[in-house]
Amino acid sequence: MIPGQCSLCYGKLQEGKTDFLAQAGGEAIVIKDVPAHICEQCGKTYYTVSISRKMDEFMYEAQTKKLCMQPVPEEEVSLYGQIPAKKK
Protein backbone atom coordinates (compact mmCIF):
# COMPACT_ATOMS: atom_id res chain seq x y z
CA MET A 1 0.00 0.00 0.00
CA ILE A 2 1.26 3.39 -0.97
CA PRO A 3 -0.22 6.16 1.13
CA GLY A 4 -1.23 9.33 -0.66
CA GLN A 5 1.04 11.28 1.56
CA CYS A 6 4.13 10.76 3.67
CA SER A 7 3.34 9.09 6.97
CA LEU A 8 6.15 11.00 8.67
CA CYS A 9 5.76 14.59 7.56
CA TYR A 10 2.53 14.47 5.50
CA GLY A 11 4.43 15.72 2.49
CA LYS A 12 3.30 14.87 -1.01
CA LEU A 13 4.58 11.67 -2.58
CA GLN A 14 6.00 11.74 -6.06
CA GLU A 15 6.69 8.85 -8.36
CA GLY A 16 10.32 8.44 -9.07
CA LYS A 17 13.25 6.14 -8.97
CA THR A 18 15.71 5.44 -6.26
CA ASP A 19 18.76 3.34 -5.54
CA PHE A 20 18.15 0.52 -3.14
CA LEU A 21 21.02 -0.45 -0.88
CA ALA A 22 21.11 -3.88 0.65
CA GLN A 23 23.47 -6.33 2.23
CA ALA A 24 23.87 -9.94 1.20
CA GLY A 25 26.55 -12.28 2.40
CA GLY A 26 28.44 -9.40 3.94
CA GLU A 27 28.62 -7.55 0.65
CA ALA A 28 26.82 -4.38 -0.23
CA ILE A 29 24.50 -4.54 -3.19
CA VAL A 30 23.05 -1.59 -5.01
CA ILE A 31 19.95 -1.97 -7.09
CA LYS A 32 19.63 1.01 -9.38
CA ASP A 33 16.52 2.75 -10.62
CA VAL A 34 14.00 1.09 -8.38
CA PRO A 35 10.53 2.54 -9.02
CA ALA A 36 9.33 4.17 -5.85
CA HIS A 37 7.23 6.91 -4.36
CA ILE A 38 9.37 9.55 -2.74
CA CYS A 39 8.30 12.21 -0.29
CA GLU A 40 8.87 15.71 -1.63
CA GLN A 41 9.66 17.06 1.79
CA CYS A 42 11.68 14.54 3.77
CA GLY A 43 12.73 12.16 0.99
CA LYS A 44 11.31 9.05 2.59
CA THR A 45 10.91 6.30 0.04
CA TYR A 46 7.87 4.09 -0.33
CA TYR A 47 7.78 0.94 -2.42
CA THR A 48 4.73 -0.70 -3.88
CA VAL A 49 3.89 -4.24 -2.85
CA SER A 50 4.99 -5.68 -6.19
CA ILE A 51 8.30 -3.88 -5.99
CA SER A 52 9.01 -5.03 -2.46
CA ARG A 53 8.21 -8.54 -3.55
CA LYS A 54 10.71 -8.18 -6.39
CA MET A 55 13.26 -6.95 -3.92
CA ASP A 56 12.68 -9.96 -1.71
CA GLU A 57 13.15 -12.29 -4.65
CA PHE A 58 16.24 -10.44 -5.70
CA MET A 59 17.72 -10.58 -2.22
CA TYR A 60 16.92 -14.27 -1.98
CA GLU A 61 18.70 -14.94 -5.27
CA ALA A 62 21.58 -12.76 -4.24
CA GLN A 63 22.00 -14.76 -1.07
CA THR A 64 21.54 -18.22 -2.52
CA LYS A 65 23.42 -17.79 -5.78
CA LYS A 66 26.18 -15.76 -4.23
CA LEU A 67 25.50 -13.13 -6.81
CA CYS A 68 27.24 -10.64 -4.61
CA MET A 69 30.50 -12.52 -4.75
CA GLN A 70 30.87 -11.89 -8.43
CA PRO A 71 32.64 -8.77 -9.58
CA VAL A 72 29.55 -7.32 -11.18
CA PRO A 73 29.44 -3.61 -11.85
CA GLU A 74 26.54 -2.27 -9.91
CA GLU A 75 24.82 -0.79 -12.93
CA GLU A 76 24.42 -4.29 -14.32
CA VAL A 77 22.35 -5.39 -11.38
CA SER A 78 18.79 -5.51 -12.55
CA LEU A 79 15.73 -5.74 -10.43
CA TYR A 80 13.86 -7.45 -13.19
CA GLY A 81 15.94 -10.48 -13.82
CA GLN A 82 19.32 -11.97 -13.90
CA ILE A 83 22.45 -10.14 -14.80
CA PRO A 84 22.12 -9.38 -18.48
CA ALA A 85 24.44 -11.11 -20.90
CA LYS A 86 27.44 -9.08 -21.89
CA LYS A 87 26.73 -6.77 -24.76
CA LYS A 88 28.93 -7.14 -27.78
Residue 81 beta carbon to Zn ion: minimum distance, rounded to whole angstroms: 32
2 binds Zn ion (CB under 5 A): no
Among 2, 8, 28, 30, binds Zn ion (CB under 5 A): 8
Question: 52, exposed or middle or buried, with CB in 10 Å at 0-12, 13-18, 19+?
Answer: middle
45 binds Zn ion (CB under 5 A): no
Q: State CA 68 to chain mean position distance.
A: 15
**What is the contact surface with Zn ion in residues (CB under 5 A)?**
6, 8-9, 11, 39, 41-42, 44
